[in-house]
Amino acid sequence: MLKIVSVIKRRPDLTFEQFIEHWQQRHPAFVTQLPGLRRYIQNPAVPHPRRTWPWDGMAELWFDDMRAIKLAFESPAADRMREDEQNFIGEQQWFIATEHPIELEMS
């Protein structure tokens, strides 16, 4: 299983609340249409009283393998998703990752 990890910053003309509303209420309709998508997780930043985070959130898009990612992002659904991203994302960085869970020892 592979995932795309994407950190995103809102458009400068949007409040954090407007950004979250679009990301959580409107954008999933586009992302969930990607062929081969296995899981979609949004991780919005938690506002901090004395600090401004460099990113407003992180998303995870899970796929079976590199071929599935390629097919998804060459699809018309990906074009529609990228078009919607212009409505709320100002900056985005991403990479493809695997997951390596670490077992915690409970005392």
Q: Considering the domain 2-97, what is its CATH architecture?
A: 2-Layer Sandwich (3.30)
The mean pLDDT of the chain is 97
Tell me: pLDDT of 107 over 90.
no
Percent helix, strand, coil in the chain, to 5, is: 30, 30, 40
pLDDT by residue (tens digit) across 56-100?
999 999 999 999 999 999 999 999 999 999 999 999 999 999 999
Beta pairing class for 39-44 and 57-63? antiparallel
Position 92 scores a pLDDT of 98
Name the residue ranges covered by the structural domains of the chain. Answer: 2-97
Position 86 scores a pLDDT of 98
